Structure 1
Amino acid sequence: FRNELLELIQYKPRTARVFRRPLLIIPPQINKFYIYDLNEEKSFFRFCLGQGFQVFAISWRNPSEEQAHWGMPQYIEAATEAVDAILAITRSQSLNVVGACAGGITASILSSYLKQTGRDVVHSLSLSVCMLSMNSREMELGVFTTPASLQAARLKSRERGVLEGAELGRVFSWMRPNDLVWNYHINNYLMGEAPPAFDILFWNSDSTNLPAELHCDFLDIYEHNTLEAGEMKINGVTIDLAALDCDKYVTAGLSDHITPWKVCYKTTQIVGGNIKFVLSSSGHIQSLVNPPSNIKARYFSNDSLPDNADEWLEGAEQFAGSWWTDWSAWLQARSGVRKAAPKVLGSKHFRPLEDAPGTYVFG
């Protein structure tokens, strides 16, 4: 399925039987979706398929200045069309949703919007390295986000029509200058050493633009904390995260400098439903790309959800291995019964257009 904003990719099952309830993975709009599929060992898609899930993923289109008017309402409408396609293809009444970083914000808004418009189709919501509460001293990003700088950012993106992905990437790099700026300046520029071929670094440089309107929507969420305050509206519908009562699995990274784990933890206090919070021992990307083969992987878990994040960590138990396996067991319990895997992809009304990864990823 394809519309102006996204392509929907369905992956071929890798097991003879699959869970009846499908899984939709929503990536951030600022980067390409293949962070979930870097190679066979690191592929979250491949892992999910091996667990028997029916996997669908969104690939966002890379916008140009002609799409400057695309804001969160347009992205939610486009994602709603993708949800409709998934439910029609799988003949399921509901689905599970996964979102990371800005994709997690989008997934949360989408889930709330669907419920509040009478379509309670999101059975569970999994959020990784994602902040829904923005009013915190824990955020290193605050160094770059004074009211004046935010207003300048709005004006600049509206003038250009987009926020270039490379520009946002530089902001994130300067949040860790020793590792992400000066390290490369010394080794590559001064010493003339060629940077290593590394899939995550390639993906990180393969950024996409944000249309000006969506950029401003994200800035409003950040500056005015509109999601937590219940002040965001999509097509006249107020997004109420507290009323979103589906089960949730929330993960964060202990050394994450972009979405600090204590800020991610606040999600447990502002959304409804039964919530499990898990803390990976890694940083932002490493917490997301965390395959079971990673022998260094560790995570913390605590069924109790006190108001204070430090108190949660004090009572948490550390486990060896990746949170992926814990999440899989959690999601299997929320994916319904198993059925024979479909022999063909798509359906009569949603015929395959082309092989993955589609066309938008090359834009």
Structure 2
Amino acid sequence: MTMIEYVRSRSMPLPLVYNRLALEWMGAVSSMLKIYDTYSSIFYKALMMLLQEDGVSSKENPYMRMLNIMDAMLDEELKSERFAHLLTDYLDSWLSIHAMLKRIYPVRHYDIMLEDILAEQFRSYTRMLSFMLSTQNLPIDASGYDVVYIKGKVRLLHYRGGKGYPILIVYAMINRYHIMDVSKDKSVVRRLIEGGLDVYMLDWGHMGYEDEHLSLEDYIHILDEVVDKVREVSSKDRISMLGYCWGGIVSLIYASLYKQKLNSLIVMAAPVDFDKDDGILAVWAKAIDARRLVEEYGHMNGQALDIAFLLRNPVRYTVMKYLNLWKRINDRAFVETFYAVERWLYNTPTVPGRFYEQIIEDLYKGNMLVRGLLEVDGKRVDLKSIDIPLLTIVAENDDLTAPASTLAVNDHVSSKEKRVMSIPGGHVGLCISSIAHKQLWPNVARWVIEKARESSIEEANGRSVGGGKENQG
């Protein structure tokens, strides 16, 4: 059946359908051109400012100076209400087109096909890069592990060589866990093992169309099963948990509901007070209609997120990084890390629609986590109920999660032991920068062990007191 035959079978007037589609298409094109004009205008203005500047040191790289000018201009413009309106106008027009097409013709298989094509473009890029840099044999995981739990696409990885107190890393759902074990020299997992910890990783896997129904509650249920498995394998009643980015959000929620299973919590670069998250992506997230997006597509496409990440600063996140690569092309360790990060960066999984909608609407827009309005399975999530030792980790120049948003967690929990660790650099630098591996992660391991020991002593004293009372009775 052709589209025209399908429309006629639904008794819909073709002229009206075509007129509305044409109007929405024109609106989408108009918004897209305005967005393009915003970027090109900033590039042109930065170039003109560079050419008109007086007194610039001859030793200063003109290209870097122009990039710095563009950084400031992009940061201001892309957070503005004007740009947010442009973005929402474009998205609204596109979603309206999709809604009309969906009403008159089954477009689901076209959505799947187009998303597969987009994903293949990113995979082709990483294959080409691998060929050019001779990194075809570079393993995805730098450290060996055993899979000790599987549920659907979710796996629990237990890394070999670890000993001592267990720590569970809860990674974000909008990327894969590989950045925590990206290479031998840049492996957070290895630093923690070297620090004397027994390391476990929660791998959320690649969610697909069949997982669109998964909600925040489902993620919490899975996390609880995983925690119980870690307790079983490690033979420990309590474990330490490290939540990174959106994984930190879920970890906080979990800790408020099941703190008795944890002896310490680490929140790393996770948005907590969303009113204080003024990063570009947070501003955009607060502007879009997540409910409508999920209603149309059922999920948030991973490659669409990749494009959004690039649009924060197209020149710096495309041209600049390849110039840096060229400068250090003879540094094999740098080249391999560069490729490993690129491979990780463009392997973004689909985010289930229900979960994505809850995160955007309830947290980014409603800020319900710190306001005490969020509920999971009918239970109110109260951050004040968290009284276990808390470590907050931030990157000083994080442009994905504002440090102020993460640090705000200390104002909303009841923990007596609160510590903050910070390093220069950005969001990903927490995992791959030299200073992170030389200073941050050894300190994190020592803190976890110290708090785990204190927890063990408290438990032993509690049992001793309890036993003494029973004997007296």
Mapped pair 1:3 → 2:151: yes
Structure 2 residue 278 is matched with structure 1 residue 278: no
- Greater strand share, structure number: 1
Displacement of 1:184: 7.2
1:334-359 Cα shifts (integer Å, max 9, x gaps)? 2339xxxxxxxxxxxxxxxxxxxxxx
Equivalent pair of 2:156/2:226 in contact (CA under 8 Å): yes
Residue 201 and residue 243 in structure 1: after superposition, are their counterparts in 2 closer, same or farther (change >3 A)? same
How far off is 1:213 after superposition?
A: 0.5
Match of 1:207 among 348, 366, 376: 348
1:281-307 deviation per Cα after TM superposition (whole angstroms, max 9, x unaligned) = 0111012334xxx2xx27xxxxxxxxx
Greater CA deviation, 212-221 or 267-276? 267-276
Q: Does 2:364 match 1:222?
A: yes
Counterpart position of 1:74: 218
- How far has the Cα of 1:136 moved from its partner? 2.3
Specify which structure has the bigger relative contact order, considering alpha-carbon pairs within 8 angstroms and separated by 6 or more residues: 1
Deviates more, 1:33-42 or 1:156-165: 156-165
On the 8 A contact 1:27/1:100 being kept in 2, the answer is yes
Name the CA distance, whole Å, in 2 between partners of 1:256 and 1:329: 24
Picking from 127, 141, 144, the partner of 2:267 is: 127
Which residue is 2:432 aligned to?
A: 289
Q: Distance in 2 between matches of 1:12 and 1:137?
A: 37
Aligned partner letter, 1:202: R
3-state SS in 2 of match to 1:131: coil
TM-fit CA distance, 1:66: 1.4
5+ long unaligned stretches in structure 1: 189-195, 299-319, 338-363
What is the letter of the counterpart of residue 444 of structure 2? Answer: W
The residue aligned with 2:302 is 165
Task: Give the match for residue 209 of structure 2.
Answer: 65
> Quick one: distance in 2 between partners of 1:249 and 1:146?
28
Give the SS at the match of 1:40. Answer: coil
Q: Deviations over 1:305-342 (max 9, x none)?
A: xxxxxxxxxxxxxxx942112212211102339xxxxx
**C-alpha separation between the residues in 1 aligned to 2:322 and 2:215?**
36
Contact 1:128 1:288 in 2 (8 A): no
1:134-187 Cα distance to aligned partner (Å, 9 max, x none) = 00263333442454x2x1x33223322221111112222222333124647999
The corresponding residue for 1:322 is 439
Q: Does residue 389 of structure 2 align to residue 252 of structure 1?
A: no
1:265 equivalent in structure 2: 407
Matches within 5 A, 1:329-348: 329-336=446-453
How far, CA to CA, are the matches of 2:263 and 2:347 in structure 1?
33
Whichever residue aligns with residue 226 of structure 1, its letter is M
Counterpart residue identity of residue 222, structure 2: A
SS in 2 for 1:276: strand
> In structure 2, how many angstroms separate the alpha carbons of the residues matched to 1:157 and 1:322?
42
Number of residues paired by the alignment?
293
Q: 2 CA distance for matches of 1:251 and 1:245? A: 18
Q: Secondary structure of 1:263's partner?
A: helix
2:232 match: 88
Q: 1:180 to 1:2 in 2, by over 3 A?
A: same
- Matched residue type, 1:278: M
Distance in 2 of aligned mates of 1:254 and 1:95: 28
Q: 1:270 to 1:54 in 2, by over 3 A?
A: same
The answer to whether the 8 Å contact 2:177/2:203 transfers is: yes
Q: In structure 2, how many angstroms separate the alpha carbons of the residues matched to 1:128 and 1:176?
A: 24
Letter matched to residue 267 of structure 2: L
- Stretches of structure 2 that go unaligned for 5 or more consecutive residues are 1-148, 326-334, 455-473
> Counterparts of 2:178 and 2:261 in 1: how far apart (Å)?
26
Alignment deviations for residues 122-142 of structure 1 (CA, whole Å, 9 cap, x no partner) = 110111111111002633334
Find the counterpart in structure 1 of residue 330 from structure 2: none
Query: In structure 2, what is the Cα distance between the partners aligned to 1:286 and 1:185?
Result: 18
Quick one: distance in 1 between partners of 2:231 and 2:439? 30
Post-superposition CA distance 1:13-47 (Å, at most 9, x none): 25xxx32x311111101111111111111111111
TM-score (norm 2): 0.58
> Quick one: which of 177, 192, 198 aligns to 2:314?
177
Seen in structure 2, the aligned counterparts of structure 1 residues 156 and 124 have a Cα distance that, compared at 3 Å, is: same
- What letter is aligned with 1:228? V
Change (3 A) 1:158 1:5: farther
User: What is the distance in 1 between the residues matched to 2:395 and 2:311?
Assistant: 19
Structure 1 residues 326 and 187: CA distance shift in structure 2, 3 A: closer
Note if contact 1:134-1:222 (Cα within 8 Å) is conserved in structure 2: yes
Name the CA shift for 1:131/1:143 in 2 (closer, same or farther; >3 Å): closer
Ranges of 4+ aligned residues in structure 1 off by more than 6 Å: 184-188
Measure, in 2, the Cα distance between the counterparts of 1:146 and 1:330: 35
Give the greater-gyration-radius structure (CA): 2
Measured after TM superposition, the shift of residue 5 of structure 1 is 4.8
**Matches of 1:146 and 1:11, distance apart in 2:** 38
For 2:158, the aligned partner's letter is: Q
For the residues of structure 1 that align with 2:283 and 2:391, how far apart are their CA atoms? 30
- TM-score under structure 1 normalisation? 0.75
Q: Provide the rounded CA distance (Å) in 1 between the counterparts of 2:343 and 2:199.
A: 24
| Of 131, 136, 144, the match for 2:276 | 136
Cα distance between partner residues in 2 of 1:48 and 1:186: 33
SS in 2 for 1:251: strand
Q: What percentage of aligned pairs have identical amino acids? A: 21
**Cα displacement (A) at 1:12:** 1.6
The one-letter code sitting in structure 2 at the alignment partner of 1:121 is: K
